[in-house]
Amino acid sequence: MLKHRGFPGRMPGSDFQFTIRRANPKGVTPLTRRERRSDRKSVDRRADTAFMQALWDSFGEEPFERGNLDAGRLSWLFGREVVPDQDPFDPEDYEALLRINVNLARASYPDVFEE
């Protein structure tokens, strides 16, 4: 499992995790698309924004390996702002390649992409 050096481990000042320390010995947690409802707490929305900022700062428009990125946090963006970059895609593979869907991410998180 690739460890993304320099990637923040969590949202500053919170317990919202962005990375995991080690591979799950019981199996890889699959990436699934989680539905974001309009009544989500503002702190949850801030965590999504902070995670998208970290992804953009670290990878930009380039494909990136899932590695030690937290599956739960990725799943809030997966299938929309973060999409598979390979076919076939295995949602249970730490080496799976992903990329940011820049157009949708700009619309969903305009603060991240301000110039």
How does pLDDT run across 16-41, given as a tens digit for each residue?
A: 999 988 887 788 899 999 998 888 89
pTM score of the predicted model = 0.90
**Do the domain assignments include residue 27?**
no
Q: Which tens digit of pLDDT belongs to each residue from 30-87?
A: 999 999 888 889 899 999 999 999 999 999 999 999 999 999 999 999 999 999 999 9
Question: Structurally, how many domains does the chain consist of?
Answer: 1
Q: What is the residue range of 60's domain? A: 56-86+106-110
**Do the domain assignments include residue 62?**
yes
**Do the domain assignments include residue 50?**
no
The answer to whether residues 82 and 96 touch, using CB atoms and an 8 Å cutoff, is no
**Do the domain assignments include residue 68?**
yes
What confidence score (pLDDT) does residue 59 get?
95
How far apart, in whole angstroms, are the C-alpha atoms of residue 88 and residue 68?
21
What is the Cα gyration radius of the chain? Answer: 13
What confidence score (pLDDT) does residue 115 get?
63
Residue reference for tokens 């970290």:
54
User: Can you name the residues that pair with 97 across neighbouring β-strands?
Assistant: 65
**Do the domain assignments include residue 92?**
no
